[in-house]
Amino acid sequence: MPSAPRLTLCMIVRNERAHLPACLGSVRGLADEIVVVAPGSTDGTPDLARAAGARVLVPPWPHDFSAARNAGLELATGRWILVLDADETLPAESRDALRAIVAGPADHARALVQRNLLPESAGHISVSIVRLFPRHPRVRFERPIHEQVNTALEREGIRIVDTDLPFLHTGYATAAAMPAKTLRNRALIEAALAREPDADPNLWFFHAASFFDSGEHLRAAELYDECARRSAGRRRRLEVAARIKQAESLWLAGRPAEAEACLPTGAESPHPLVCELRAALADAAGRRDEAKGWRERLLSCPDIAHLPPVALGAMKLRALNALAEDWAARGRKDRAVKVLRLGLAAAQGRIDAAAAAIGQAYAAA
């Protein structure tokens, strides 16, 4: 009798003929089985998946991402499950590392680092997300949007291990696609909250984000506050993240005093967005030395999956530009020119704008 597959790649796709080959190519030699759920596809995506050897299911769209993903899990037979979307790819180094992991016992889940590539080469946003986990009959996705298996894994006592293994996501690399996705996500979230407002405080965070992304900052601030209050005493990291985003929303809405009151204090290694906001608040209050100090701390922040997620490279470029202006205002045009050159090298991609080493390069400039 043939042995069970070691790893099953599970995907949901819809009209992804342009992206699917690159995704499947990136897992060649890693995935022993491929299961594709393709609800509503009309561009030949299911046929393309079948030609690649996938088991394909073409159900009606259930208006629920978890339901679609769980339909694929029902068909999977591998000891391990890897989840990717068609617009995601595994770099070679991640593929090699995952090959070593799945050769071992399927006893822990792994959180990978999703690098969301931004429009116009504006860098990336890193998000830690569980995408590799043991196949288990009671481990299923939950939430109709921004679906996750974390809750089910915790119930079953399956530990989640964080990794620094990246996979690339290009779905946000086209700015024109963002408004439609924001409205789609908002509608699904609002329907879920209407059914179960107390079920998952993460949904309030995502609800707030849909208003933040559309520029409705005061409404976003209200919803981030709701998320923080619902997370208090239950999910400390989410509570802090919601307060940080509430502060950013209030700052952008022109309410600096309220923004400052929301920011967490006392962290030895503050979140990059806290550094940026505290620098802006200090600038607005005429506290130039304080603003400079926060921007210099920002430059040394590591390129990891922060919560809330941030475009760290873009933030560091803004910090370098502001620091160059500050040095010039202090009469140190020689230092200002060196900082501007560092920023130009980062903007042109000659050095990694997001890397913590930017802080060292700045100190030496």
User: In the chain, what's the furthest Cα-to-Cα distance?
Assistant: 78
Q: pLDDT digits over 113-143, tens only? A: 999 988 766 689 999 999 999 999 999 999 9
- What's the pLDDT at 237? 93
pLDDT in tens, 246-263: 999 999 999 999 999 999
Pairing state between β 124-134 and 80-83:
antiparallel
Mean pLDDT of the chain: 93
Assigned token pair, 85: 């979307």
CATH 3.90.550.10 fits 7-169, yes or no: yes
For range 335-357, the mean pLDDT: 93
CB atoms closer than 10 angstroms to residue 340: 18
The structure tokens 């090699």 sit at 96
Calpha distance 36→50 (Å, rounded) = 9
Both tokens of 147, joined, read 């679906």
Average the pLDDT over 80-93 and give the result.
97
Angle, helices 288-299 vs 357-364, to 10°: value is 130
47 pLDDT band, cuts 50/70/90, is: very high
Which residue, 321, 332, 306, is CA-closest to 358?
Answer: 321
| CB-CB neighbours of 360 under 10 Å | 12
Per-residue pLDDT of 209-253, as tens digits, reads 999 999 999 999 999 999 999 999 889 999 999 999 999 999 999
The share of the chain scoring above pLDDT 70, in percent, equals 96
Q: Residue 177 has what pLDDT?
A: 63
State how far the Cα of 298 lies from the Cα of 276, in Å rounded to an integer: 7
pLDDT at position 167: 97
Higher pLDDT among residues 292 and 193, named by residue: 292
172/234 Cα distance (integer angstroms): 31
Residue 20 pLDDT: 96
Q: What pLDDT does 199 receive?
A: 77
Burial 193-214 (b: 16+ CB within 10 A, else e): beeeeeebbbbbbbbbbbbbbe
> What is the C-alpha to C-alpha distance for residues 274 and 241, in angstroms, rounded to an integer?
10
Long-range pairs for 211-220: beta carbons < 8 A, 24 or more residues apart = 211/186, 212/245, 212/248, 212/249, 213/178, 213/182, 214/179, 214/182, 217/249, 217/250, 217/252, 217/253, 218/249, 218/250, 218/253, 220/245, 220/246, 220/249
pLDDT of residue 1: 42
- Residues 6 or more apart whose CB falls under 8 angstroms from that of 159 comprise 107, 108, 109, 153
For residue 348, which of 302, 312, 318, 317 has the smallest C-alpha distance?
Answer: 317
Quick one: pLDDT at residue 122?
65
Residue 94 backbone dihedrals phi, psi, to 5 degrees: -70, -40
304-339 tens-digit pLDDT: 999 999 999 999 999 999 999 999 999 999 999 999
pLDDT band at 52 (very low <50, low <70, confident <90, very high): very high
Residue 281 has pLDDT above 90, yes or no: yes
- CA end-to-end span of the chain, whole Å? 65
Rounded to the nearest angstrom, the gap between the alpha carbon of residue 134 and the centroid of all alpha carbons in its chain is 22
Q: With 80 as the cut, is the pLDDT of residue 4 above it?
A: no
343 vs 317: CA distance, rounded Å: 6
Domain locations along the chain: 7-169, 274-365
pLDDT digits (tens, 9 = 90+) for 180-214: 778 888 888 998 898 888 878 999 999 999 999 99
115 forms beta bridges with 126, 168
